[in-house]
Each structure stands twice: as C-alpha cells, then as structure tokens.
Amino acid sequence: MSTTTPFIENQSDKIPNPAATPITVARGDGIGPEIMDATLQILNAAGAALDIHEIEIGAQVYEQGHTSGIAPEAWDSLRKNKVFLKAPITTPQGGGYKSLNVTVRKTLGLFANVRPCVAHDPFVENLHPEMDVVIVRENEEDTYGGIEHQQTDEVAQCLKLITRPGSERICRYAFEYAVANNRKKVSCFTKDNIMKLTDGLFHKVFEEVASEYPEIESEHWIIDIGAAKLSTAPEEFDVIVTPNLYGDILSDIAIQLTGSVGMGGSANIGEGIAMFEAIHGSAPPIAGKNIANPSGLLNAAVMMLVHIGQAEIAEKIQNAWLRTIEDGVHTEDISSEKLTAQQVGTQDFAAAVIERLGQTPQQLKPAKFNTDGPAELNVSIKPTVPATKSMVGVDVFIHWHDVTPDDLGAALEAVSNADLCIKMITNRGVKVWPNGFPETFCTDHWRCRFKSSNDQPVSHQQIIDLLTRLSAAGIDFIKTEHLCLFDGKPAYSLGQGE
C-alpha cells in the first residue's frame, strides 16, 4: 500500500523573504482550516514577516496509521522552526489514539500554557465586565502523563505525577510573567487538603518561589472554592498558576465567562520553542459553515508575533481586532441583539479586521506590546538535593473478588513475619481491616500495608520474599508501593480512618 507523506514543507508560492521568521503552521481539523485561513489573511495584510512551513496533523494523519496524529517528518519542521501556529484538531475517541495536543506539548517540553481571559465590555456580552485574568497552567505533568492501567475487574487507575522541578518551573514562570507584564498578584490553586503529597508539593514549591518575589502579592486557594470565587468575582484575580488538569478546566470556564470560548488564544511555552493555539477545540458541528469565530486563533497569533519580536505588527492586528469588536461586527457565537451591529461569518470577520488595520479602539484599552523584543523569563530551577531515604514497609495491592476484609486479613496474617507484617487493609483508600465498618463498600482492589513488626528498616529482599510468599499462597498481587521516610519524614499517605 502506498501512503502519501502528510508533510508539506514551505508551500508558499511567494519568494522567501530573508528577514521573515520561519514558523510551522498546521490547519488542523473541523473549523481549523477556515479559522487558520482567516488568521493568515489578517497576518499577511498586516505585513507580518513570516516564512510559513505547513505540516499536516490530526484526523487525516491518524487515518494514515500514525496513532500519534503527527508524521515523523513533521517533527523536523517543528524542531527546526521552534515556533508553531496550530489550529485545533479532532482527537479520535477511544482506540489507541493519544491526544496529539498532549503529545506535542510534552515531546517539545512546552511546560507552560498561558491563557489570558479578558472581558471586552461593553461590546461583548459577558458575566464579569472587569475580568482580566491570565491562567498559567502546568502543561506536562499531573494526570496528563496518561499512565493508566486497569488493575482488577472493577478498578482502573490513572497516575497523577507532580514533580518538584516541574512545579518550580511553572511557579517561577508565573511570577516572571507577572513581573514582565506588570501584574500584581499570583494565586495558586490546588487541592492539597486532600492530595497532601502531590498537590501539597506544588503548593509548597509555590510558597518557596513566591518568597523570591516579595513585590508580587501571592496567595493560595483550594481549587474548589477558588474556582467558585473565580466564576463569581474574577476581578479579584490577576495571574493564576495551577496544575495541569485544574488549569485545563478552569481556563475553559474562565474564557467562557468573557463571552465565548471562541475568543481565547493561548501560548504553550518551552525553553526556546513555543506553540500558539486557540483555547477551543475543532468544533465539528459548525465546521465548514463559515460561522466559526477566528478570534481565538488570531489572538494566539498575536501572542506569537510578540514572541518572535514582531510586536508592532501584533499591536496593529490587536487594535484592528478590538476596533472590529467595538464596531459591533461579531460572529454568531458573540452576537447579541443589543450589542451587534452586523453579524458576519468567519471570512467577513477577517475582512472587517483587515479593513481596520491601522485603526485603534476608541473605548477599549489599545494594545501596547514591548517592542524591545520578548522579555527573557528566568525559569531556571534549583538542583534537587537528595534526601536520606529509608524504607519502612510496603503497600501491596491485591486483586481478590468476593473476599471479606476479615478473611483477607487472616490470609495476609498467614504470610506475615517479623520483617513484614500486615498492619492495615484499605479499599478505595478507606481502612476496612482491622476493625472496619460493615457499611463501607468494597471493590475487588485492596491496598495491604505491611511494615516490620519492630519498626526496623525494610530491605528490597524482604519485600521480594513477601511477594514470593504471597505468590505461593495464590494471592494475586498487582502492584507494590514502597513506604519510605525522606529525611526521617513519612512520605506516604495514611489510610482514611487509620
């Protein structure tokens, strides 16, 4: 079977301009091609000096058998140009497909996802006229490692990984961003009242980094109440930094509060490499109808122009766009009887922006970007100082259907010895043995905590011996987690009720 290469390099029929910045562009799926066309027309009309290399990603590439959604050759363009303007793509549901967005972000080390969420009051209907919040989302870690396993008939697991260097880099980026953009406060959102080790690490690192920026106010919110506050009083926030999953959810909600998910652009920043995209997805139901709002991708392109040192062009485009919005020329998603003078399609919206190039908004704040080139943000991280680590036990996870906690406890007492002795069994994190409650619902997935009977350190060999005894007893162990002290402090969670 012959396959066509999905990589199309330098399709521009113009003579390359040596002063132009090479960028990689992907038109994506769904509404992607039409909003990318609109965006590129505006960039071109504004005089952006770009040498465009186009690659194909997304649905067609998946169909050609590349389960990552991107062909190997396309990586060469991304790694060479180091600037990527990307339209949304459709991630196939189910199957072995990984999200290409996550793959690109992680493969290229794009650790920071920056999402400005700004209301354009009184020209676009919104829930909070004063809203002007930038969400800095950690982009590589958390549950987005995509490390998942079905462990028993009844239980699947997703690993949430939070690292000290990852947390330090994103928190430092948030503070550096605040300084460079004259913002006054950085708020950290986590759920460390529940996830004390993972979110607790993120919060702890945030506090450490915050102490190096005394001129910037800092605060921490538990994510649930923080999100509630953001949705009712966003004017109280300035920059928000948060782990990956919370940031993903929060930024969609925040941009929707400004009027439409179609308005927001985002930057994915790595060291020396960056990707710019709309916050929203490929919106398949409205694809090909010429009704999609190209503003999200256009705003991302404006961020890209600032990043590559074409701030004057960025300003020209942003001001023309603001003026278009002010003049009531709106796409369907932001159209309202009261505020819209003319409802237009994607193409006509682009034409309206082009028509206004050179104009500035009359009421909205005109754009003003740093024309000295992009600010250098220092996101260096401190080397990790290894702790003194000692092992004091092991959690063995067991798959056993139709067993009572007492029967399981008895079976595990039979394989215990002085080196490693069963101390506690939990089910879904709740202690069920010894002295569990009959009301507690149990699945077929048991976390069985073994420790030495006299609080002695435990060796790898002792754990291997325990697993050998479990295997000989026909007990199906499915995973182990060592219980360690780091510099003498327990580095594992207690069971609920322990």
Active site residue ranges:
144, 191, 224, 248, 252
Binding residues among 282-321 for ligand NAD as defined by CB under 6 A: 282-286, 292-293, 296
Q: How far is the CB of 163 from ligand NAD (least distance, A)?
A: 24
Binding string to ligand NAD for residues 433 to 462, with x set by CB under 6 A, is what? ------------------------------
Q: Which stretch binds ligand NAD (CB under 6 A): 87-95, 164-172, 446-454, 482-490?
A: 87-95
Task: State which residue, 118 or 398, has the beta carbon closest to ligand NAD.
Answer: 118
For 271-281, b where at least 16 C-beta lie within 10 A, e where not — what string?
Answer: eebbbbbbbbb
Residue 118 beta carbon to ligand NAD: minimum distance, rounded to whole angstroms: 16
Report whether 297 contacts 54 (CB < 8 A).
Answer: no
Q: Choose, by CB under 6 A, the member of 23, 50, 61, 89 that binds ligand NAD.
A: 89
Among 333, 431, 446, 495, which residue interacts with ligand NAD (rule: CB under 6 A)? Answer: 333
Picking from 226, 247, 245, 248, the residue whose alpha carbon sits closest to that of residue 237 is: 226
- In the structure, how many helices (H) and strands (E) does the chain have? 13, 20
One-letter amino acid of 300: A
Bridge-based pairing of strands 185-190 and 217-222 is: parallel
Select the residue interacting with ligand NAD from 277, 315, 326, 419 (CB under 6 A): 277
Q: Say how many residues touch ligand NAD, by CB under 6 A.
A: 21
Closest distance to ligand NAD from the beta carbon of 45 (Å)? 20
CA angle (320 as vertex; 316, 322 as ends), nearest 5: 120
Q: Pick one of 53, 137, 280, 323: the residue that binds ligand NAD (CB under 6 A).
A: 280
Does position 248 interact with ligand NAD (CB under 6 A)? The reply is: no
Of residues 214-243, those binding ligand NAD (CB under 6 A): none
| CB under 8 A, 24+ apart: contacts of 471-479 | 473/411, 473/414, 473/415, 475/398, 475/400, 475/411, 475/412, 475/415, 476/398, 476/399, 476/400, 477/396, 477/397, 477/398, 477/399, 478/151, 478/152, 478/397, 478/398, 478/399, 478/445, 479/151, 479/396, 479/397
Among the listed residues 479, 485, 497, the one whose alpha carbon sits nearest the alpha carbon of residue 452: 485
Please say which residue, 58 or 436, places its beta carbon nearer to ligand NAD: 58
Residues in touch with ligand NAD (CB under 6 A) = 31, 35, 88-91, 101, 261-262, 277, 280-286, 292-293, 296, 333
